[in-house]
Structure 1
Amino acid sequence: MPPMNYQAAKFVISAAKLRDCPPDSLSEVAFAGRSNAGKSSAINTLTRNGQLARTSKTPGRTQLINYFAVDESRYLVDLPGYGYAKVPLSVKNDWQVHLEQYLNKRDALSGLVLVTDIRHVFKDFDLMMIDWARKRQLPLHILLTKADKLKRGGVQEALGKARQALEDMPDASAQAFSSLKRHGVDILAQRLDGWLGEQPSVSLAPAVPDADVDN
């Protein structure tokens, strides 16, 4: 099928629970990442819409599963972030339960983009998410954001470290990315095109390891 028109993406719904997710989805790609890793900024850069995915300097703002339609039946999904949200423990636990249900039970999920700061490859929960994708055999793409913060040598070193962690995963890849410089947007778009144009076929895996979630 032809490439997706990501600039046409529009907000559809914020789902609090798995049952609230759009029932018509043929294929969707989820973006996951730690606080301030640049997840929402990456989505906004991809779609050329700085207001599409909410960004904030305050951790914990994205508490829902946010859907953006690329066409009538294919979606980009902004997942609740994980890390150190300054919210009550009961709220964190609620986010975690619904996030795990989505990751393990959403049939339309075709691939996962794991967003991480290129200066901090990888945090413990990033490694857990990679392991989860490995066990579920879900296609994975690592987006090393804020690449403009490092010199060329540092970028190559971070890429090498990321790719080493993915050596046993044939459906995994990694790239450097900069929202500020719009570096790597075409690579990301090509990867998403391949996922969104296919029907998902993955096996279920154990629940995602315990962790706090925020944006």
Structure 2
Amino acid sequence: MIKKAEFVISNSDPGKCPNPDRAEIAFIGRSNVGKSSLINALTGKKDLAKTSQKPGKTQLINHFMINDRWYMVDLPGYGFAKVNVKVKQGWENMIQTYLLKRENLCGVFVLIDSRLEPQKIDLEFLLWCGTEGVPAAIVFTKSDKQSKSKTALNVHKFLKKMEEIFEEAPDYFVTSAETGQGSEELLNFIDDLVKEYESGINN
């Protein structure tokens, strides 16, 4: 349960993130996947993360303090944001550095638009996470935008692709920022990750 959520800092340098002294959970996904909307739905603050109809709104690493206990991080989207190649490479370096070097990062949620067939860019990013040992789980978004059967079909197709790559699919959640579907399960999972991190530090 999130009772308190506060913006802490935005920056483009992973080295300037807050001290890694508590558990950290990050959200990432293709541009316009509904990341900011989901963060706002989970925290119960409708304008905590800035939402936009234009892809590529999040261009910085955004830290939020949750319940004075752990950090939630909104990472820049990857994919088709309309920026020049140099800027795009800068983002990608920033994201990779953050994901590989941030020692208190205990979970990364990769957001996937449940309305779409499996996208190569998402599969490639998850493969990179698996290869590099980044602890990733999948969050399917926008489940309210089509029928339950269509959502289920697309989720099934994506997980089947994941099983071809990894032999087993990672943890996954089906969510809607509009209806709140999946929020409780997702928050419980995050709570377990935070507790696991804290018990590892205290032992």
TM-score by length of 1: 0.84
* Gapped regions of structure 1 (runs ≥ 5): 202-215
Structure 1 residues 65-121: Cα deviation after superposition (integer angstroms, max 9, x where no partner): 000111445111000001122223222221111111001111111111011110114
Distance 1:171 1:77 in 2: 24
Provide the residue aligned with 2:149 in structure 1.
Answer: 153
Bigger relative contact order (CA 8 A; separation at least 6): 1
Distance 1:30 1:111 in 2: 6
User: Which residue identity does 1:178 align to in structure 2?
Assistant: S
**Could you tell me whether the CA contact under 8 Å between 2:32 and 2:56 is conserved in 1?**
no
**Could you tell me whether the CA contact under 8 Å between 2:106 and 2:135 is conserved in 1?**
yes
* Gapped regions of structure 2 (runs ≥ 5): none
**Could you tell me whether the CA contact under 8 Å between 1:134 and 1:169 is conserved in 2?**
no
Shift of 1:124: 1.6
Structure 1 residues 168-177 or 21-30, which shifts more? Answer: 168-177
Segments ≥4 residues shifted beyond 4 Å: none
Structure 1 residues 6-56: Cα deviation after superposition (integer angstroms, max 9, x where no partner): 241111001211111111432111101111110110100001111101111
Query: Does residue 34 of structure 2 align to residue 38 of structure 1?
Result: yes
1:142 to 138, 150, 156: 138
User: Which residue identity does 1:182 align to in structure 2?
Assistant: G
Provide the residue aligned with 2:109 in structure 1.
Answer: 113
Query: Does residue 5 of structure 2 align to residue 6 of structure 1?
Result: no
Shift of 1:165: 3.8
The number of residues matched between the two structures is 197
Instruction: Compute the RMSD of aligned alpha carbons.
Output: 2.0
Distance 2:175 2:41 in 1: 10
1:175 to 173, 176, 184: 173
Counterparts of 1:34-113 in structure 2 under 5 Å?
34-113=30-109
**Could you tell me whether the CA contact under 8 Å between 1:143 and 1:174 is conserved in 2?**
yes
Shift of 1:173: 1.2
* SS of match in other structure, 1:161: helix
**Could you tell me whether the CA contact under 8 Å between 2:113 and 2:140 is conserved in 1?**
yes
**Could you tell me whether the CA contact under 8 Å between 1:24 and 1:73 is conserved in 2?**
no
Structure 1 residues 166-175 or 105-114, which shifts more? Answer: 166-175
Change beyond 3 A, Cα 1:49–1:169 = farther
Provide the residue aligned with 2:23 in structure 1.
Answer: 27
**Could you tell me whether the CA contact under 8 Å between 1:33 and 1:39 is conserved in 2?**
yes
Provide the residue aligned with 1:213 in structure 2.
Answer: none
Provide the residue aligned with 1:192 in structure 2.
Answer: 190
Which has a greater percent of helix? 2
TM-score by length of 2: 0.88
